[in-house]
Amino acid sequence: MIARRRSPAAIFDALCGTGPAGAPRVWFDRAVVLGGSVAGLLAARVLADHAREVVVFEPDRAAAPDGSRSGAPHSNQLHVLQPGGRSQLDRWFPGFAGQAAAEGAVLVEPSARTRYRNGRRRVAGAPVESLSLTRPFLEDLLRRRTSALPNVTFAGHRAAGLEATGAAVTGVRCAGPDAETVEPADFVVDAMGRSSRLGDWLERAGWEAAPVRRMPIRINYATALFRRAEPDPPTKTALALRGALDGSEAAGAAFAAVEGDRWMALLAGFVDHRPGRTADDFVRRCRDEYPPEFGHVVSGEMLGPVANFHLAESRRRDYHAVRRLPAGVVSVGDAVASFNPIYAQGLSSAALHAACLSAYLRSDDVRAPARGFFARQRIVVDAAWGFSTRADLALPHIDGPYPRGYRATRWISRRIVDAAQVDPVVARRFDEVTFMQRHPSTLVTPGILLRSLRNTP
């Protein structure tokens, strides 16, 4: 079980480790992963060390021409693989980043990453490389690496429920053209995304669904691809935010050099602010409302239409709080928590869920409900959820729910964010937390707080 006296920060640091996971122990004859998302594929990789056979149910593998899938309609939007997520991919698939770069992904040096807040450029932060690529490219490479494992296979089954004997899951019911069939399973991973039906299945079988927390954000995204002429541009990724902390209309833009000699550019707004609904509007806003780099990116040929996406709320399911749960089932990725994508922590959070699964399978009793897994996962989810929702609560259109001590927390957060604009030490620590390499509590150490108070512009 997870050590009771260890702090969340210490557990988070251990989960972020990149060394070998240790000698595996085979627990299961057959494990099933419901969903071939990034979280699902990483779960399959971990389970390959602990099951004789792993089957990934992937009913929506076929993608639309723009790269989106029915199970991941936001796949055609800009995604960022932060250094924390990248290191986990290299941990589970050695050489992953190098292979991605060899196949066209863009390695982003610290000097090629720029950030702006309300038009003001931020000082340099953490000196780490990131990997820039589209989500379909990432998922394709992950799927190829996962399918190369000798004990992992893929199936097009569509899950319709769970089978249990006694207090443990024993199979997955699958919807067929004429009747349901049952696929045996000693262990099941729910990677079905935001629309996961695991809670309904558990309640139907007499167990308990996880409590759900919601934060309405009503964010709108528009993403477009442009031809990129420079093979090695001086700025490869940029993020520009405005208004998020001063009560004015919040908006943002970002771009990244991606595979195929392309730029991927994004505009974001809240509520009724829907930027970039047409190609002309998209280009005009990038050129007129954001720093010059954005105008340069959109000066090339636009490749295809503008893709729009709306996310009404952040949402999390607190499986750690469930009292009655069968053994042999866990949930990962967006099926547990999906939060405002503007902070770019979703992929890294999903990668750390795999680390939670590995730690659980190497140290806990898998014949009992997976409380050790959910306890570890809670620390990861709390880190990302707290980071994003505290920032979202400063938006003028969001009116709670406010956690205890919110006023003081917001005051401190504003000092840290302001100082990160001008203080390299604070900026580096802020990046490490944003990149999901360090726990958020490391932002409120005496040294960082003192620098933040001294260096607030």
Nearest Cα neighbor of 218 from 296, 274, 259 is 274
Nearest Cα neighbor of 59 from 79, 29, 35, 77 is 35
Contact 81, 238 (CB under 8 A): no
Cβ contacts of 174 within 8 Å, gap of 6 or more: 57, 157, 158, 159, 160, 180, 181, 182, 183
In the predicted model, what is the mean pLDDT of residues 151-166? Answer: 94
Q: Strand order of the sheet with strand 307-317? A: 120-121, 113-117, 237-242, 251-258, 262-270, 212-227, 307-317, 337-338
pLDDT tens readout for residues 49-86: 999 999 999 987 655 555 555 556 677 888 888 899 99
Check pLDDT > 50 for residue 336. yes
Q: What is the pLDDT of residue 179?
A: 82
Q: What is the pLDDT of residue 247?
A: 45
Q: Tell me: cis bond preceding 401? Omega within 30 of 0 counts.
A: yes
Measured distance CA(422)–CA(457) in Å, rounded? 8
pLDDT tens readout for residues 402-436: 888 888 888 999 999 999 999 999 999 999 999 99
Domain boundaries, the chain: 26-214+316-397, 402-454
Q: What is the pLDDT of residue 394?
A: 80
Out of 36-50, 61-75, 330-344, least confident range = 61-75
Look at the domain 26-214+316-397 and name its fold.
Answer: FAD/NAD(P)-binding domain (3.50.50)
Q: Within 13 Å of residue 228, how many CA atoms lie on the same side as its CB?
A: 25
Contact 133, 105 (CB under 8 A): yes
Using DSSP, how many helices (H) and how many strands (E) does the chain show? 13, 18
pLDDT tens readout for residues 234-248: 999 999 998 744 444
Out of 93-97, 338-342, 380-384, 443-447, least confident range = 338-342
Our measurement of the distance from residue 360's CA atom to the centroid of its chain's CA atoms, rounded to an integer in Å, reads: 20
Out of 53-57, 174-178, 346-350, 424-428, least confident range = 174-178
Determine the longest span between alpha carbons in the chain, in angstroms. 69
Q: What is the pLDDT of residue 246?
A: 46
